[in-house]
Each structure stands twice: as structure tokens, then as C-alpha cells.
Structure 1
């Protein structure tokens, strides 16, 4: 594959770059990285590697497909130095420079001066344009002048309207408007009151006419009511007659009904008597049956009692038999035990008799031997006992003496040990008190020096604070003087502005009064409004 050779002359030098399209201009402007021999810090300025594994730590890994290589990440940075032009270097140097407070203040003042200069130039240009427009106005034809005058009139009308609307926002004008509105309301109210009086008079006349009509209607209604009452009285008489006839008929019907009910009640009573007799007969039969049942139950109870007595007798007989059996069994066992006891007693008596015989034989043989040595044995035994008693007493005395001596020695050692410990503790306490005293002295000296230093610092700070306060007081005094001068100047301007404003308000109020007069408002209300306006001013 052929490559296209490119030739480009750089801005920084007259060297030519010859390369191919793989290295576009602007990136490598002098030579290729592969031909560069420059170094910086013993490192090439371009990253030149023949392969991806060059200069890197490689590891090997075995798997099913065989052995393969892998790169081990390195902690060293792979960023290389950059070659920049002088312009880039100067820009970077300019951006990294620290701007001081004086330079910043100078820049601000320069910007303000530049702004003032531009403002003056703009005003000068506007003035020049205005002069040019005025010159052109003189050169225009009459038709154009008429159009401009009409536009000027419209503009003046708009400005006048805006001026009037602005005046309407003033407090005095608002009060004047309220007074005018109140006056209008009062005039309207007076007109409404007059109209209301007229309407009241008309209403009274109408009510009088209606009352006359109502009176006529009432009289006619009374006559009609009396006629209706007479008709109702005749109707009531007719109804009373008919009602009386109906009452008589109802009374007769009630008597017939009563007689019929009497007959029915007699029949019912007879039926009740027959039913009661039947019930009494049924009760008697039931009592007889109950008596029979009670008799049968009594007989059954007697039989049960007889059977129960027989059962109890049988149980008693069985118990007696069991008791007899147990008694006989106990007698047999007692007899057997007595026989065994007698047999054991015989055996023991036989053994005792044999033992007595043996003892007697031995005693007969030993009497002869003991009679000759008994006195000597008693003396020996007494001497031995006396010696043992004395030996035991001497042993106890010796043990007591040894214990007492040992206790005295231990007590002496403990006393000496306590004395030594007390001396050591006293020495330690003295040393500790000495060190504590020295520490307290050092702490007090340090505190004294610290307090002295703090006092000096406070005095110095107080002096600085006093100077700052005096400086602030002087600054405030100067500002107060400047403010007083400004206030005086502003007072003059305010007085002039107030006089002009008062005149404008007076003109506006006069105009409003004139508008009221044009609206055919009575002079009484107009004069009253003028008096109120004078009180406002």
C-alpha cells in the first residue's frame, strides 16, 4: 500500500516535515516519533516501543488450549512529557501568575476609566446625531413636517397622560380624589333621599287606595259569610234530624244484637258446663289410674327391699366365712411361730450350757498361775502408768516452751520488718513531697510567665484596639460632616422640588374642580371640596 508524502513548513522554524498520511500535520510537526532521539529526564519524549510487551512485566498462564501470555499492570505512570510552542508556554505562564491586590485595583480603575470614556463618546455621538437630525428637519418639505407635528402631538398627549397618571399616584391627589368621590357620593345620596321621599309619598297614596279596596272586599266578605252561615245552620238542622233517626235505628239494632249475644252466651255456657263435666270425669279416671300405678310401685319397692335384705344377709354370711378363715389362718401361723421360737430357745440354752462348761474348765486351770504373779503385775502396771503420765506432762511442757519461743521470734521479726517498712515509706513520702514541691514551683513560674506574657499581649491589643476605635471615630466624624453637607444641599433641592410639586398638585386639583363644574355638579359641593382641599394643602 502506497503512502502519500506531505510537506509542511512550521511557524516556529524553517524545518520541513516530510511524512505520510498516517501522521497528519499539527501533531508531529518536525519528525516522526520513531526517528526522534531527544530525551528529557533520561526518558524519551516519545513513547517508542517495538511491540506491546516491550518494557512491561509479562506472565504466563497455562490452560486447555496451551500457554498464553498476559500483561501484569505496572504502578509507574505512562504519561510522557509534552513539547509546546513558545506561545503556549507564555499563555500558560500568564495564567499561572498570581494577581496582587494592587494590580486588581488598578485593573478595576482602568476598567472604570474605559467605561467613562466609552460613555462620553456615546453621548458625543448622540449629540452629533441629534444636531444632524435638526439640520435635516429644516430641509424637509411641509408635508413631512405636518406628519412629524402630528406625531409630536400624539407623543405630547401620551406624555401628558403619563404625567397625569403619575400625579394621580401622589398622596394629596389621592386624598383629593377621595374627597371628590365622597362629595359625589353625598350628592348622589341626597338625590336618592329626595327620590326616596317621593317614592314614600307615592307608596302611602297607593296603600290608602289598597286599604279602601280591602275594606270594600271585607264588607262584601262579611255579607257572604253571614249568608253562608245561614245556609250552614239549615244544613246542620237537616243533618241533626237525619242523625237522630240514625241514632234511633242504631239503638234498636244494638238491642237486637244484645239479645242475640245473650242467646249465644247461654249456649256457650251450656257447652262450657258440658266440657267441664267431661274434664272432671277425665280427671277422676286419671286419679284412679295414678292410684293403681302408685300401688304397683309400692309393691315393686317392697319386693326390692326384700331382695336387698336377702342380698345383705348373703354378704354378711360371706364376710363371716372370710373372717373365720383369716382367724384360723392367723392361729395356725401363731402356733407355728411359737414352735419355732421354742426350738430356737432350746438351741441357745444348749449353746450357753456348753460355753459355761468350757469357761469353768479354763478358770480352774488359770487360778493356779495368776495367784502367784498378781501382786507383781499390779506394781509393774502402776509404775508404767506413772511413767507414761510424767512423760506426757514433760512433752507438753516442752511443746509449750517451743511454741512461746517461736512466737517471740516471729513477733520480733515482724516488728523489725514494720520498722524498716515505715522508714522506707517515710523516705518515699519525703521524696514525693520534694518532687511535688519542685513541680508546683515550676508550674507557678510557668503560669507567672504566661500571665505576664498574656498581660503584655492584652495591653498591646488594647492599644491597637484603642487606635482602631479612634480611627473609626474620626472616620465616622468625617462621614457625618459629609452627610450633613449633603443633607443641606439635598434640603435646598427638596424645597425647590416641593414647591414645584405643590404647584403641580394645585393645578391638578383646580382641573378636577373644573371637571366637576363641567359635569353639572352643584356649586355647594364644589365649594365644599375646595375648602377640604385647602385643609389638605
Structure 2
């Protein structure tokens, strides 16, 4: 309970020492010690020596890294008085009286100091001054001026002026920054415009190169198709018509792609609709291609059926011819048997010869028939093999053409999707950058507003805290504050601050 008041009392004594320390620091203003007499000077020197010895002794015996405080008996008595319980009204009244007494003492001390300085100036003006005295006087004058300026800077009005100066400088810097920012934004916009123009030129040049390449490819395909049409046989006419149809479809798709490229600069909705339309047309082309493939497959099936019917018809005719041969052989065998029966009545030797001859004739006939049958079967197999090989070659050629067409359509479709996707990505990236710039700008503005509000609140608080001091020193220092204000305005003008930001400081009342 006793420790807390003692700390408070020590703080009060330290504050009082700080308040009187400012006058002690500038007390050596050239006053004559003879005005106080010898005893006064000796007493003053003895008090100074005692205070210095106490300070040095306290510094010797005071530990460096502790929280202990050394106080005198007078401070101890004062702390004991402060430890007693007093009403808040009495405390406020006492503080007010002490503050008024302190201000009166400070005014008297200031008046006494000015009187002493005037007397000293008169005395020095009447006597002959040497070089050293003039130098000392100049040094003292500079010290007094610097001390007076330091004292002036502690005044609330001057602080407010400094705040206004700082605000004027800040808004001047801010205006310069805004002008620089607008200039940078304008330069960036011009650079972006130039870059967009260069990109557009490169894009158009790339489109022209691609168109030329596509035209060359189309011309080469047409020349190749004409050469193929001159070399293939009649059965290749259908494939040539299909190839021409594919070329026409490819040219139509290329024209559609060219149309899409010319409309790239339209709005995103237009590009999406165009992409959707292109996808539908590609789907329709694929559907037509599928139908064409189905028709080709049906034609192939019908051709296979015709070949099978031809082979079956040929087998049927050969079977009929074989049956006729068998019937003829059977008839001849019956005729031979009949003749043999008729000749049985003849001599046995003649009968055996006839039978042997008939047997040989039958065997020769059978050998000839088997050889003919084998040759016919080989011929049929060779013909069927040739037909199947021709069919396979035609099928492979058709599949290769269809694969090439499908691959070309796939490449074109992927190119369309890639162009559309790249355009969408570029648009999204552009929107993201613009949104980020807007957010950063908004954040910067909010930060500036917050800093400005905080600064205004702080200036207002400082202004309110220093208001009492301003009211006390208003009549005494109004003329000096006016000169300080003019000096501040001159400094701002010299630093290049516009007149519109000096109006507030110039119109500031020093009441």
C-alpha cells in the first residue's frame, strides 16, 4: 500500500524537475553575476556543487540494473502527505492551484529573465567589446535562438502548424504521386495499345501464312487427285468422287475457319455462338461422313453378296455340268454293259479284249474328267483369290482415304478448339488482371483514407491535449506565433508547396 504512492510521488518530482530543466539549460544567457552579489554567486555555486556531488554520488552508489529509487527527506515527507486519503475534488482543486502557481512562477521567471537580458544588453552596449566578447555574444545569441526555437516547437500552436505543414507537404507529395501515377498509367495504356496493335499485325500475318499454306495444300491435293484419276481404272471412279466430295467439304470447313478467324475480335458471346455453330457443323459433317461410310459399307456388302451369288451360280452350273457328265458316263457304262452282254456270245478272247478296251476307255475318260475338274477348280480358286485380293486392296485404299480424311478433320477440329480455348483464356486472364488492378487501387484508396482519418484523429487529440497551454500563452506569445506562422509559410513556399495548401495555415487563427 505504501509502495504505490511513493512511486507516484517520485514521478511527480521527476516531472517537476523536467519542467524546470528547460529554463536551467538556457540560464547562461550572459547575465551579470554582480547583480546578485557575492553571497548570491557563492550560494549559487555551492548549491550547484552540492547538487552535482549528490548526482555523482547517486550515480556511484546506484546499481545499474535495478528498479530502486533514491529520494530525499523532503520528497519522503511529501510522499507521506500524498499517502493520506483526500477527496477527488480537493485533489483537483489542489492540482489546479499548483498549476496556476507554477504558471505564475514561470511567468515571473520569464519576466525576470527578460529584464536581466535587457540589463545585460544595455551594459554590454555601453562598454567596449572585444573580439572574444563579440564571438561569445554571437554564440550566446545563437544558443538563445536555438533554445527559443526548441521552446517554440513545444507549443501546441506550433505543433498544430507543423501538422498543417506536414499535411500540406503530404498532399503536395500525394498530388505529385497521383500525377505521376496518371502519367505512368497513360504511358502503360499507350504501350499496351502499341503491343495490341503489334499482336494484331502478327496474328493477321500468321493467318495469311496459314491461308497460303492451306491453299498450297489444297492445290497439291488437287494435283495429286488429278494424277490418281488419270492412273486408276474404272473401279476407282467412286473413290475419286468420294475424294472430291471430301475436298469440297474440307474447303467448306476451311472457309468456315477463315470466317471464324475474321470474327475473333467480336464479343465473347459471339465467339461462343460461332464455336457452337462450328461444333454443330462439325457434328453434321461427321454425321454425313458416318452415313457415307454406312453407304459404302452397304455397297461393299452388296458387292460381296453379288460375288457370292456369282460364285454360287457358277458352282450350280458346274454342278449341273458335272451331273450331266455323270449321267453321260452312266449312260455310256450302261451302253458298254449292254454291248458286253451282246458280245458275251462271241468268243471269250474277243469278249475279254472288248471288256479290257471298255475298261481302258472308262479309265481314260475318268482321268480326263478328273484333270479337267482339277484345272477348273484351280481356275476357280485363282479367280476367287484375285477377286478377294482386289477386294482387300480396294478396302485398304478406302480405309486409308477415310483415315486420312478423319485425321484431317480431327486436326481441323482440334485447331478450332485450340484457337477458341486460347481466346477464352486470354479474355479470362485480361479480366483477372483488370479485377486485380481494381482491387489493388481500391485497397490503396482505403488505406489512404484510413491513414488520413487516423492522422486527423491524432492531430485532433494532440490539439485537444495542448489546448490548455495555448489558452494560457495566447496573449503573451501571439505576436511571436504569428512570426513563426509566417516563417512556416515561407518555408513551405520555398519547398514548392502550392498556394491552395497554404491557405489553411495562412487563415489559421492564433487565438
TM-score, scaled relative to structure 2: 0.26
Which structure shows the higher helix fraction? Answer: 2
Which structure shows the higher strand fraction? Answer: 1
**Higher RCO (C-alpha under 8 Å, 6+ residues apart):** 2
Larger Rg: 1
